[in-house]
Amino acid sequence: MAGLESIPSYIRKAKDDGMLEMALVENIQREDLDAIEISLSYQRLIDELKFTQEELSSRVGKKRSTIANYLRLLKLPAVIQKGLIEKQISMGHARAIINIADQETQTMIYNQILKYGFSVRKVEEIVRSLNEEKVQESTATKSPKYPKEFQVIKKQLDKIFKSNIDFSMNEKGRGKITIPFKSQDDLERIVKIIENHK
């Protein structure tokens, strides 16, 4: 096809492991591979040839952080991996989504990308916001905003109002009690309980 009668070639002898390494490394260099194919090739080199990420980095000429980012993609739900293969989302989208811990939320964000055409930057903002909310919730759970002796009172009020009552108190001992309600009817129910306890 090239119109040549001969071409320069090199013959390399290798053991099975060496042949596998050469085949996979050569495969990774192809331009038409999708991100998941590259990730699977990296994982296979690690699993079958017992490479560390550092060793793999030097073999394929990529930064260790780049290899780590590709390997993380394999932890995404199958539907998102399929979306990457079919180019419905980019590598940047996937790298943002992987920073969410639970797969249900990952899939929800993926579906929003498909529906609304979110940019990578927009997805990064969504992920950052969700993670900040989670940290705040975790901190609130670990550190009640009221003294321990108030926990008994809180349980009594939870039982009376059939709701998750919230306490907060400052260093001077001043604070507030918050009674959440789910609807107008629920609010009226709470008001009746207060009136009956006058």
Q: What is the pLDDT of residues 1-45, one digit of tens each?
A: 888 889 888 776 656 666 667 767 776 777 678 999 999 989 988
Residue 6 is assigned to a structural domain of this protein: no
Is the distance from CB of 106 to CB of 76 less than 8 angstroms? yes
For residue 92, name the pLDDT band (cuts at 50, 70, 90). Answer: very high
Q: What is the pLDDT of residues 132-175, one digit of tens each?
A: 887 776 655 555 556 666 777 888 888 888 888 887 777 777 88
Buried b (16+ CB within 10 A) or exposed e, 38-49: bbbbbbebbeee
Residue 150 is assigned to a structural domain of this protein: yes
Residue 130 is assigned to a structural domain of this protein: no
Residue 135 is assigned to a structural domain of this protein: no
40 and 86 both lie in a single domain: yes
Which pLDDT value is given to residue 140? 56
79 and 155 both lie in a single domain: no
108 and 20 both lie in a single domain: yes
- Residue 146 identity (one-letter amino acid): Y
Express as a percent the part of the chain with pLDDT over 70: 86
- End of a domain among 90, 119, 148? 119
Express as a percent the part of the chain with pLDDT over 90: 38
> What CATH code is carried by the domain that includes residue 23?
1.10.10.2830
Residue 126 has pLDDT above 90, yes or no: yes
153 and 104 both lie in a single domain: no
The CA angle 168-165-188, to the nearest 5 degrees, is: 125
Task: Give the structural domain span for 190.
Answer: 140-196
Q: In whole numbers, what is the pLDDT of the chain averaged over residues? A: 84
Residue 134 is assigned to a structural domain of this protein: no
Q: What is the pLDDT of residues 51-75, one digit of tens each?
A: 899 998 988 888 999 999 999 999 9
Residue 131 is assigned to a structural domain of this protein: no
